[in-house]
Structure 1
Amino acid sequence: MQTLVGLLPIILMFVIFYFLLIRPQQKKQKKVQQMQTELQKGDRIITIGGLHGTIHAIEENAIVIAIQDGTQMKFDRSSVREKLNQD
C-alpha cells in the first residue's frame, strides 16, 4: 500500500502530461493529415516553406502547385501546411 502511495505522484504526472501535451498534439496531427488527404485541384494552399499557390494537379503522394507567374512546382502532399479559405 505504501508503495502505491509513493508511486501515485509519478502516475499522476504521466496522466497530466498525456492530457496536456500528447493528446492535443495527436488531435492536431490527425486534423492536418485529414486536410492533406482532402486536397483538391484548385485549392489555394501554403506549404511548410511558406510558398503560396494553387493546386494544379494531384498525384498519389504529390501535388503540382501553380504559382502566380505561371511556374509549376511539384511537392509532396505532406508539405502542405494550410489550406486557405475560398472566400
Structure 2
Amino acid sequence: MNQLFLPLLLMLVVAIPLVMGSRKQKRAAQEQKNLQTSLSEGDRVMTTSGLYGTVADTSDETSIDIEIAPGVVTTWLRQAVREKVAPPVDEIEDETEESPEESPATSAEAITEAPAEEEKAGPQIAPPLEHGKK
C-alpha cells in the first residue's frame, strides 16, 4: 500500500494544476468569444495591437469595420478586438460651462474664497520631444 501511495500522490500534485489551468483558459476563451459576438455599432474598442476605435459596421461574421479617426474606417478580424473600453470623457465641455446668472465678479470672488484644490491624481503627460533642433 505504501508503495502505491507516493506515485499516486505525485500524479495528483501534477494533475490538479493542469486541470485547473485548462478550466481557467477555457473560461477566458469563452468570455473573449462572447465579447466578439456581442460587438455592435458605436462600441468603443481596443484591438490586440493597442489601437482604439469605434465599431462602424458589424455585418460580416468574420470581420468588423473600425473607425480609428473621423472619416477613416479600417477592416479588422473580429478576433483582433481585445476589449471594449469606455468612451472618452469630454472634460473641455465641463470646463467651459458657466451659468449665465453669475457675473464675472461673483465667479472671481468664489474662486478666491474657495480653498485651493489638490492636484488631480493620475498620469502626467510630458511635452513632445523636439528632434533635430540644435
| Fold equivalence (TM over 0.5) | yes
Identical-residue share of aligned pairs (%): 31
Consecutive unaligned residues of structure 2, counting only runs of 5 or more, are 90-134
Partner residue of 2:71? Answer: 70
Partner residue of 1:55? Answer: 55
Q: Calculate the TM-score normalised by the size of structure 2.
A: 0.57
When the two chains are superposed, the root-mean-square deviation of aligned CA atoms in Å is 1.8
Aligned length: 86
Question: Which of these two proteins has the greater Rg computed from alpha carbons?
Answer: 2
Which residue type is aligned with residue 54 of structure 1? T
- State how far apart, in whole Å, the 2-side matches of 1:82 and 1:15 are: 30
Structure number with higher strand proportion: 1
Partner-residue secondary structure (3-state), 1:67? strand
Say whether 1:42 aligns with 2:12.
no
- State how far apart, in whole Å, the 2-side matches of 1:7 and 1:83 are: 45
Q: Deviations over 1:47-87 (max 9, x none)?
A: 01111100111111110011124211000111100111357
Partner-residue secondary structure (3-state), 1:74? strand
Which residue type is aligned with residue 73 of structure 1? T
Q: Deviations over 1:20-68 (max 9, x none)?
A: x221121111111101000001100000111110011111111001112
